[in-house]
Structure 1
Amino acid sequence: MRLLHCDLDVVLRSDKRTDRFVPMPKRWIVERTFSWLENFRRLTIDYEYRADTHEAMMHIAAIKLFLNKI
């Protein structure tokens, strides 16, 4: 990801069976964020025809989530 100047870490699922729940590092953060964004009706179905409009809706949803946490 040289364009965005960020590091990308891929966390793979372990195939070992355990008796207890073990969260995977960093993956739960992504899953939590996706579940927060699914609360916005405009983002659950692809209403937008253009990618920049969809990106703007993602920004608005993220701003609303962050403002609610203040």
Structure 2
Amino acid sequence: MHPANEHDKWGGQALLLGMDFSLWPRVRKLFVDWGYRGLKGLASSLGLELEVVAHPYAGVREGEEAPELPRVQGFKPLPKRWVVERTFAWLGRNRRLAKDYEANPGVSGQRSYLEAWVYLGMLRLLVKRLARAA
């Protein structure tokens, strides 16, 4: 995440350069919004593939290449676009994770506390799915 007052390209560049990829050795592909399209060169230099998931012709300026999606009328969900928001919605169904307090999770040992609740929330979701499938 980066601040909202920072352009996606510059925030994404800082994130990519600051990431420790040894923590996530299996990450090879990033699905990004249209604002991060300028990071393809940096991502490829880091050994990552960058796939831009955008609405057809969204934000295209003269001289730029348009996305390869056909024009559609009305609402059409885009692949991989809402995965993060969907996951946050699933976590929000747990009482301890239902509120967004915008606290800095890295302060005073709070990170491990929040991380534990996220693990418990996702574990609860998986156990419910396993019970339903059995």
Whether TM exceeds 0.5 here: the answer is: yes
More strand by share: 2
How many residue pairs get matched?
Answer: 70
Q: Could you say which residue in structure 2 is the equivalent of 1:38? A: 92
8 A contact 1:43–1:57 mirrored in 2: yes
Q: Could you say which residue in structure 2 is the equivalent of 1:24? A: 78
| Structure 1: runs of 5+ lacking an equivalent | none
8 A contact 1:37–1:61 mirrored in 2: yes
Instruction: Report % sequence identity.
Output: 34
**Which secondary structure state, in structure 2, belongs to the residue aligned with residue 27 of structure 1?**
coil
Task: Point out which structure has higher relative CO (alpha carbons under 8 A, 6+ apart).
Answer: 1
Misfit runs of 4+, over 2 Å: 11-19, 28-31, 44-49
* In structure 1, distance between residues paired with 2:113 and 2:75: 39
TM-score of the superposed pair, with normalisation by structure 2 = 0.43
RMSD of aligned alpha carbons: 2.6
TM-score of the superposed pair, with normalisation by structure 1 = 0.74
| Structure 2: runs of 5+ lacking an equivalent | 1-18, 35-53, 60-70
Question: Larger radius of gyration, structure 1 or 2?
Answer: 2
1:51 pairs with one of 95, 111, 120: 111
Bigger mean CA deviation after superposition, 53-62 or 37-46:
37-46
1:41 Cα offset (Å):
1.8
1:4 pairs with one of 24, 32, 57: 24
